[in-house]
Chain A
């Protein structure tokens, strides 16, 4: 494993090539992060970056399994948490790390902090949840789209009725989806605010006009794009290399 760690370090600290860069977009539903993610991606491409997007709960392997059980309202908080961690791990191994290894910029529309915030809001122990995501892969930048519970509720419920798990009805014991959503998102935001302090999120005021937010993102990105690669990520990359027997899609063995 030591050899794989050395290969990871060598690859991600090579000054002669553009290294893979991971940017996470986080925030409660209705914070407008998907819109901003699309604008940001278009801008990065115009700047010459090779950009890959990955979304929360989107792997072809685990997503259908989660969806079927969500539709049946069959998941306990622990099962919900574990399956989302499995989906995340599969995407890390199949999409995120291969793209980073190839020097691409990966934009994650929600990252592991979504799991932490939602599962903690469901009453699970934060330390246990964090363990599910080990070995941890830390993004180079985390943009946190900050909105109030009122704004999130207003935006989400303006166009649709929140689903059973989205509204946290599995833990609030409130039948009305709108009322349940408000209570649940209040808890989620509280968890996000704590995570924001612990993990140094870059906060974007998502109550501001869209254009203003986008320019703020560009500015934050410019300030952070030359950050050195975090050696905390060595274990995650080394495990991925070992998993593939040292083979990588590009860049040789």
Chain B
């Protein structure tokens, strides 16, 4: 539930971690300093960092496990970064937010309704900036959630990972975007 204050969440979602970060910083720079609360980034909780250093024998997480961990990371970001900002009436940029993980999950074959219920705890964003850049061929798993997720699925099963093609993800990200008008104050998008 949204706190009773006038803060704003700008979600930045897409399939290229580096481009999401660049767009988020550009978006934050357009916010007046007095209202600016900064950028809430993927893995602020360090959960994925811990997954990355787990020994191979621990096993590779599936798409569903990754989505659950993403939800835990987002719960952390909401608790420590996003809610406090909007309770103070500030504008916070969440990069990425929900559309990215929903797109990833759908491309991996997870049920959209399941993810909608799972992320019911997340505050609906006021604006969504879709980053249309495709993933870099050289991007490692640390550059973003989608890159990390693709690496995991490729390790699990090359045939299952084929579904996580950039084109599919891009379509899914658009489909996952909330259907509400985006405010005219919008920074330049990544192409």
Q: Which residues of chain B come closer than 8 Å to A205, judged between CB atoms? A: none
CB contact list, A55-100 vs B, under 8 A: 59-62, 64-65, 68, 76, 78-79, 82-83, 85-86, 89-90, 93-94
Question: Are A86 and B157 closer than 8 Å at their CB atoms?
Answer: no
Question: Are B54 and A131 closer than 8 Å at their CB atoms?
Answer: no
Q: Given the interface contacts A76-B79, A244-B157, does A64 sit within 8 Å of B62 by beta carbon?
A: no
Q: Given the interface contacts A82-B68, A128-B117, does A242 sit within 8 Å of B160 by beta carbon?
A: yes
Q: Of A1, A61, A65, A242, which is within 8 A of B59 by CB? A: A61
The complex places the Cα of A79 from the Cα of B78 at a distance, in Å, of 11
Q: Of B71, B75, B158, which is within 8 A of A76 by CB? A: B75
CB contact list, B96-126 vs A, under 8 A: 109, 114, 117-118, 120-121
Q: Of B51, B57, B75, which is within 8 A of A82 by CB? A: B75
Q: Does A247 contact B (CB under 8 A)?
A: yes
Tell me the nearest residue of chain A to B48, going by C-beta.
Answer: A65
Q: Given the interface contacts A65-B47, A131-B118, does A60 sit within 8 Å of B157 by beta carbon?
A: no
Q: Does A197 contact B (CB under 8 A)?
A: no
Q: Of A76, A128, A245, which is within 8 A of B157 by CB? A: A245
What is the CB-to-nearest-CB distance from B142 to chain A, in angstroms, rounded to a whole number? 17
Q: Which residues of chain A come closer than 8 Å to B45, judged between CB atoms? A: 79
What is the CB-to-nearest-CB distance from A56 to chain B, in angstroms, rounded to a whole number? 16
CB contact list, B4-32 vs A, under 8 A: none
Interface residues of chain A, those whose CB is within 8 Å of chain B, are 1, 59-62, 64-65, 68, 76, 78-79, 82-83, 85-86, 89-90, 93-94, 128, 131-132, 134, 239, 242-247
A76-B76, A82-B69, A131-B118 given; name 17 further pairs at CB < 8 Å.
A61-B59, A62-B69, A64-B50, A68-B50, A79-B75, A82-B72, A83-B47, A83-B68, A83-B72, A89-B68, A93-B65, A94-B59, A128-B120, A243-B62, A243-B160, A245-B160, A246-B159
Q: List 18 A-B contacts (CB under 8 A).
A: A60-B55, A61-B51, A61-B59, A79-B45, A79-B76, A82-B68, A82-B71, A82-B75, A83-B47, A83-B72, A85-B68, A86-B61, A128-B117, A128-B121, A132-B68, A239-B109, A244-B156, A245-B160
